[in-house]
Amino acid sequence: MFSFSVLATAHGSRARLGRLVTSHGAVDTPAFMPVGTRGAIKGVTPHQLRETGAQIMLGNTYHLHVRPGADCVAHLGGLHRFSGWPGPLLTDSGGYQVFSLAKINRITDEGVAFQSHFDGAPMFLDPAAAIAIQEKLGADIIMALDQCPPIPSPAEELRNAVDRTVRWAAECRDMHRREDQWLFGIVQGGLDVELRASCAERLIEIGFDGYAIGGLSVGESHAEMIGVLEQVTPLLPTDRPRYLMGVGTPRDIVESVKSGIDMFDCVLPTRNGRNAHVFTATGRLKMRNQQHRLADEPLETGCDCYTCAHFSRAYLRHLFITGEMLGPTLASIHNLRFFQRLMSRIRDLIPAGMLETITEEFPVTCGDALDETE
């Protein structure tokens, strides 16, 4: 039912071309997963998402557990049927949201007691609950519960977070029953490479279907993140998928692929789209700017997305200026397609040994991907 194969590697880097097969379809890697926090990509239908080239979608366990509830989703046929997305799905464990969104939380070795960010209701999340919820949601790939410490954190807090992450991962492994789901462990440890290596070694000893690197893209510099990846990624099994959680910008993705990462997720395409910021190969466009008022060209020449094929920059600006709902949808469609075009080109260049040339086709990846083209 599941398989992961490395089809080619890149000369001069650890980048690899792969294929992940699930019961709901295949995913070509390196892959970018759009984020459907509550079981939906904001402003975009599943059909429109598929047309952007996305092969896999991410759902958020915490938010789906709060509303409408895992039992509701299970009663209605699981997250695939409930959301109308027929392809592969991944759900995170909900741990990150518990630590970042909960009004109050208390962490112990048993789990996390917290108050819902929605209505303040008391809740508790432990490894058993994290697995039970995700098994009810029914995603193809699920994540072990982990503790995500902030960066920076005192050394003792980092060690405690890693110990809990490993302990909870082992409990999740023991609790997991569904054979039609893959379970990934999550490597934590902040910017402490030795602690990350220890965490990875202990998780590998437990044994997981794939391995994620969490706790990055939370405020550290680009160089610090890549430094951790260059040291930690080679420690992970070569025959299992490697997932960098919550990343990222085009530059982060390209450099992380060179370190051997296979899977990414981030809210940037749709969050930026909703806020009238559009990705192009040469930088971002701010669609409310006056300069686009009479611009008859598409958002990006050469882009094959629905938006670029049918609408001008002037029209997109008009939609945003007048508050029309269509504006965020069209901008998000373009941004989602931009990220899938980037990933497709990365996959083309890896077996050819030409990954370095990606910066010639997508110059934005040479610098800060959030630099804005006025």
Q: What single DSSP character describes residue 365?
A: G
For residue 54, count other CB atoms closer than 10 A to its CB. 26
> What whole-number percentage of the chain has pLDDT above 70?
97
34, part of any domain: yes
Task: Compute the distance between CA of residue 314 and CA of residue 223 in angstroms, rounded to an integer.
Answer: 38
For residue 39, count other CB atoms closer than 10 A to its CB. 22
Q: What is the pLDDT of residues 272-285, one digit of tens each?
A: 999 999 999 989 99
CATH number at residue 29: 3.20.20.105
What number is the average pLDDT over the span 255-281? 97
Higher pLDDT pick, 114 / 249: 249
Host domain of residue 103: 3-221
131, part of any domain: yes
237, part of any domain: no
Residue 188 is inside which H or E element, if any? none
Q: Which amino acid is at 264?
A: F
Task: Compute the distance between CA of residue 261 and CA of residue 212 in angstroms, rounded to an integer.
Answer: 9
268, part of any domain: no
Q: What is the pLDDT of residues 185-226, one digit of tens each?
A: 999 999 999 999 999 999 999 999 999 999 999 889 999 999
Residues 171 and 214 sit within 8 Å (Cβ to Cβ): no
Q: Among this protein's residues, is 126 annotated catalytic?
A: no
113, part of any domain: yes
pLDDT of 99 above 80: no
In the listed set 180, 206, 221, which residue is the last one of a domain according to the structure?
221
Q: Among this protein's residues, is 92 annotated catalytic?
A: yes
Q: Is 202 in the same domain as 293?
A: no
236, part of any domain: no
The length of the chain in residues reads: 374
CA-closest candidate to residue 228, choices 185, 205, 204, 260:
260
Give backbone dihedrals phi and psi of 57, rounded to 5 degrees, phi first.
-125, 150
Task: Compute the distance between CA of residue 100 and CA of residue 209 in angstroms, rounded to an integer.
Answer: 27
Task: Compute the distance between CA of residue 116 and CA of residue 123 in angstroms, rounded to an integer.
Answer: 7
Q: Is 175 in the same domain as 307?
A: no
290, part of any domain: yes
Catalytic residue, candidates 126, 146, 252, 265: 265
Task: Look up residue 214 and give its two tokens.
Answer: 């969490």
Give backbone dihedrals phi and psi of 212, rounded to 5 degrees, phi first.
-110, 155
Catalytic residue, candidates 92, 126, 252, 262: 92
Q: Is 203 in the same domain as 323?
A: no
pLDDT of 370 above 90: no
CA-closest candidate to residue 91, choices 162, 158, 176, 30:
176
What is the predicted pLDDT for the residue at 105?
Answer: 85
Residue 16 is inside which H or E element, if any? strand 16-22
What number is the average pLDDT over the span 295-316? 98
Residues 280 and 263 sit within 8 Å (Cβ to Cβ): no
- What is the number of domains present in the chain? 2
Residues 246 and 217 sit within 8 Å (Cβ to Cβ): yes
In sequence order, what DSSP letters do the residues of 22-44 get, joined into one string?
Answer: ETTEEEEESEEEEEETTSS-TT-
pLDDT of 103 above 80: no
Task: Look up residue 335 and give its two tokens.
Answer: 């941004």
* Orientation angle between helical segments 222-232 and 193-206, nearest 10 degrees: 40
Q: Is 67 in the same domain as 201?
A: yes
pLDDT of 180 above 70: yes
What is the predicted pLDDT for the residue at 102?
Answer: 62
